[in-house]
């Protein structure tokens, strides 16, 4: 389960465009934030994606991606040209092909590497889909978990929704805003499609699985927030959207939390394991913010510079490591979720204060900006987050656990499996 939004200049009221996404994955599935440089490739070179090899192109653009550690593709990202993409799992009547192909995360990364604008990115995904299809396990531990994909693709001028089922697609363009979750949103109102004129693309949806995924509730929540603050939307507003809950105590109401919390091995298996917000400013300038870990309601969005990434964000695999920012945060997150209401009330003000400081004082910058002052702001934000969370873990030794029996059992087993220290 995931949620993605794109907001154009007419709705921000500031001349900038903003992208936001929560990536919801399995409960201890490490998500890395990587800055990958542009590269020239030799003629005839091949590229190993998650499951298949395809021909490489002559040049790939620089990009920042947030990706599960075990696969080649990415859940979300932005390239040096100002193309931003997030994908969502779609549950459809169309089943994956038996022969492995590309998965949605591969298609996303390939489009970022190869496109100079949103229209080109959409064409690249459509052409790759037609040539290779989408097939292969998409889950980390659950290798039976497969799905189709929707994509929100944007640049400084346009936002594109591209929804797919098998090798078919439907596409809509807008310049105002768009929101996608885990359900098909395009019916007969597509502007381009692989299907015949007048075809209702939404008829391909699997309605039961889509309902239990909670996508309509989450999409409506973000859409309502966007419409309520039209003409004045900033990054902190998108942070708030991405950390919103259906209920004050998370993990209730099936899968209706935008800030998703896992709590059991059946219905609530997913959690938000990474979050990204991108501001696209005029004059080819950017501001990027990432959490670097799970549960945006328990941590701040921190500034990230493509030319000077905080190195520990790119470290981590299938088990706890104190060298990995994601896993250090995950130790805090798991211990906090066992005492959620108390811990959130203790950290909420500090999180909002820090974010207000960074969004107020951090200038928009070019992709290759690596000024020492700005680098220190970014790296200092991650170090401060580390330190605050270590202090809070120590405080949690004296805070009573309040999670339900089932949730407590789920997270205790997850911690034991991943060797996360509990207090």
Please report the pLDDT score of residue 253 as a whole number.
58
The secondary element (H helix, E strand) that includes residue 124 is: helix 118-132
Please report the pLDDT score of residue 264 as a whole number.
82
Half-sphere exposure of 191 (CA within 13 A, CB side): 10
Q: What does the pLDDT look like over 112-154, one tens digit per residue? A: 999 999 999 999 999 999 999 999 999 999 888 899 999 999 9
**What gap in Å lies between CA 207 and CA 210, rounded to an integer?**
5
Q: Within 10 Å of residue 201's Cβ, how many Cβ atoms?
A: 25
3 state DSSP class of 396: helix
DSSP-derived secondary structure for 24-44: EEETT--EEEEEE--EE--TT
Phi, psi of 372 (to 5 degrees): -55, -40
Active site amino acids: 2
Say whether domain 2-418 belongs to CATH 3.60.60.10: yes
Mean pLDDT value across the chain: 95
3 state DSSP class of 219: helix
- Considering Cα of 414, then 273, then 122, then 365, what sign does the dihedral take? negative
**What gap in Å lies between CA 359 and CA 33, rounded to an integer?**
20
Sequence-separated (6 or more) residues with CB below 8 Å from residue 283: none
Please report the pLDDT score of residue 255 as a whole number.
83
Regions of the chain where pLDDT drops below 70: 251-253
Please report the pLDDT score of residue 269 as a whole number.
83
Please report the pLDDT score of residue 213 as a whole number.
81
**What gap in Å lies between CA 347 and CA 36, rounded to an integer?**
33
Sequence-separated (6 or more) residues with CB below 8 Å from residue 328: 312, 322, 386, 389, 390
Please report the pLDDT score of residue 362 as a whole number.
93
Domain ranges for the chain, please list them.
Answer: 2-418
Q: What does the pLDDT look like over 373-385, one tens digit per residue? A: 999 999 999 999 9
C-alpha distance across the termini of the chain, in Å: 29
């Amino acid at each position: 389960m995931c949620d993605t939004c794109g907001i154009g200049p007419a709705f921000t009221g500031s001349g900038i465009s903003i992208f936001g996404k929560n990536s919801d994955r399995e409960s201890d599935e490490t998500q890395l934030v990587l800055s990958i440089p542009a590269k020239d490739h030799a003629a005839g070179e091949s590229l190993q994606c998650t499951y298949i090899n395809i021909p490489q192109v002559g040049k790939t653009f620089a990009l920042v991606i947030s990706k599960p550690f075990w696969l080649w593709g990415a859940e979300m990202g932005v390239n040096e040209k100002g193309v931003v993409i997030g994908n969502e799992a779609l549950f459809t009547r169309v089943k994956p092909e038996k022969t492995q192909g590309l998965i949605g995360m591969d298609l996303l990364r390939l489009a970022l590497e190869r496109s100079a604008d949103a229209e080109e990115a959409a064409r690249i995904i459509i052409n790759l889909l037609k040539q290779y299809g989408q097939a292969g396990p998409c889950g980390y531990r659950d290798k039976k978990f497969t799905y189709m994909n929707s994509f929100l693709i944007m640049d400084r001028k346009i936002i594109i929704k591209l929804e797919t089922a098998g090798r078919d697609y439907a596409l809509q363009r807008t310049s105002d805003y768009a929101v996608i979750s885990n359900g098909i949103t395009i019916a007969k109102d597509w502007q381009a499609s692989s299907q015949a004129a007048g075809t209702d693309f939404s008829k391909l949806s699997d309605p039961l699985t889509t309902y239990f995924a909670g996508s309509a509730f989450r999409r409506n929540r973000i859409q309502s927030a966007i419409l309520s603050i039209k003409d004045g939307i900033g990054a902190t507003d998108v942070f708030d959207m991405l950390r919103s809950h259906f209920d004050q105590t998370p993990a209730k109401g099936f899968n209706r939390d935008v800030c998703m919390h896992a709590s059991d091995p059946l219905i609530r298996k997913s959690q938000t394991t990474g979050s990204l917000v991108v501001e696209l400013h005029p004059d080819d300038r950017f501001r990027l913010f990432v959490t670097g870990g799970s549960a945006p309601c328990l941590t701040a969005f921190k500034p990230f510079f493509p030319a000077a990434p905080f190195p520990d964000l790119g470290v981590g695999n299938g088990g706890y490591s104190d060298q990995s920012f994601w896993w250090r945060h995950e130790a805090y997150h798991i211990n906090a979720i066992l005492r959620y209401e108390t811990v959130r009330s203790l950290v909420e003000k500090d999180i909002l204060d820090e974010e207000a400081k960074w969004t107020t004082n951090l200038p928009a910058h070019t992709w290759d900006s690596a000024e020492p002052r700005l680098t220190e702001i970014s790296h200092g934000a991650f170090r401060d987050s580390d330190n605050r969370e270590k202090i809070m873990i120590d405080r949690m030794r004296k805070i009573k656990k309040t999670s339900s029996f089932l949730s407590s059992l789920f997270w205790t087993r997850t911690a034991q499996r991943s060797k996360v220290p509990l207090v």
